[in-house]
Amino acid sequence: MPLSPASIKSIESTIRDSLRKKFQNYKPESKNMPFHFRLLGKDRMALYSFIHSLNTSFGTSIFEPVAVTLAKTRFAHAESQHAPGNQISEGAQTVIQKIMNNLSAASKDVNKTEEVEQIRAVCQKGAMNILETVNADLFIQDAKGAMYLFDIKTVKPNISGFKDHKRTLLEWCAIKLAQNPNVQIHTCIAIPYNPYEPQPYQRWTLKGMLDLPHELKVAEEFWDFLGGGGSYEELLNCFERVGIELRDEIDRYFRNFNT
């Protein structure tokens, strides 16, 4: 189902406002690069520095607000930087450690559905411990109360770090189940676009640690899940239209660095 004109307008406004906010808060990393300035010009160096800064913060400054706006078109609730809570049962911690040990030793195939049910069975057993965890980049809830927590990663995340990411996904489940043992909970890694396109994303590198159908959404899978079929392509069109609209404004902004 294509996005409505109102949804497209809202998404483009989010992109536009996010980019302008980035401009307002942007400061070049170095104010004095005499060789680079003379060779390339201060405006080009400022643009290069801005792009580098934008790349490192694209998730929080662009993807997160756009994801929230898109998710609100078909979900009951959506927010970014969601704090899941900080209480986890001893029983859940024991189960999570056992799951991680089995996955690290490759002694058991990964199965997120089974893992969640194992955690659900002990989510309120034993003492409740305080656990400091990271915020979910995106939290959405559907009309029936099912929860989805996403960790939005850069397009080429460090493979060695996925062991920690997996633990975080399981801990989010345990924390939410401690609050409500009956809630339907889904925790996923989201990768906003496929850097290998037109080749498929190299999912095999994550096999064995993540339950790929249930814990990883890449490019179209992620955006179409949030907004419905065709959302990814429409989202790319939104970015293109805003880029064309703001081109002169962007050029003027960076020309100021020559003065």
Query: Above 80 in pLDDT, residue 154?
Result: no
* Same-domain pairing of 67 and 157: no
Reading the block at residue 179, the tokens are: 């609050």
* Same-domain pairing of 200 and 115: yes
* Same-domain pairing of 51 and 118: no
Residue 232 lies in a domain: no
Residue 237 lies in a domain: no
Query: Above 80 in pLDDT, residue 231?
Result: yes
Residue 135 lies in a domain: yes
Residue 242 lies in a domain: no
* Same-domain pairing of 32 and 133: no
* Same-domain pairing of 56 and 81: no
Query: Above 60 in pLDDT, residue 164?
Result: yes
- Could you tell me the pLDDT band of residue 159, with boundaries at 50, 70 and 90? low
Number of independent structural domains in the chain: 2
Structural domain for 36, as ranges:
1-74+247-259
Residue 131 lies in a domain: yes
Residue 235 lies in a domain: no
Residue 236 lies in a domain: no
How many C-beta neighbours within 10 Å does residue 212 have?
A: 17
* Same-domain pairing of 85 and 130: yes
106 φ/ψ sector (left φ>0, alpha ψ -120 to 50, else beta):
left
CA distances from 189 to 5, 126, 245 (A): 29, 29, 32
* Same-domain pairing of 130 and 61: no
* Same-domain pairing of 16 and 101: no
* Same-domain pairing of 253 and 222: no
Yes or no: say if 124 and 178 are a contact pair by the CB < 8 Å rule. Answer: yes
Query: Above 80 in pLDDT, residue 254?
Result: no
Q: Which of 214, 215, 236, 233 is nearest to 224 (CA)?
A: 233
* Same-domain pairing of 63 and 124: no
What would the mean pLDDT of 55-75 be, rounded to a whole number?
Answer: 88
What would the mean pLDDT of 1-24 be, rounded to a whole number?
Answer: 86
- CATH assignment of the domain containing 112: 3.40.1560
* Same-domain pairing of 69 and 87: no
Residue 254 lies in a domain: yes
3-state secondary structure the chain: CCCCHHHHHHHHHHHHHHHHHHHHHCCCCCCCCHHHHHHHCHHHHHHHHHHHHHHHHHHHHHHHHHHHHHHCCCCCEEEEEECCCCEEEHHHHHHHHHHHHHHHCCCCCCCHHHHHHHHHHCCCCCCEEECCCCCEEEEEECCCCCEEEEEECCCCCCHHHHHHHHHHHHHHHHHHHHHCCCCCEEEEEEECCCCCCCCCCCHHHHECCECHHHHEEECHHHHHHHHCCCHHHHHHHHHHHHHHHHHHHHHHHHHHHHC
Q: Does 65 or 39 have the greater pLDDT score?
A: 65
What does the alpha-carbon distance between residue 59 and residue 27 come to, in Å, rounded to a whole number?
Answer: 19
What does the alpha-carbon distance between residue 104 and residue 161 come to, in Å, rounded to a whole number?
Answer: 13
Note the pLDDT of residue 29.
Answer: 63
* Same-domain pairing of 50 and 153: no
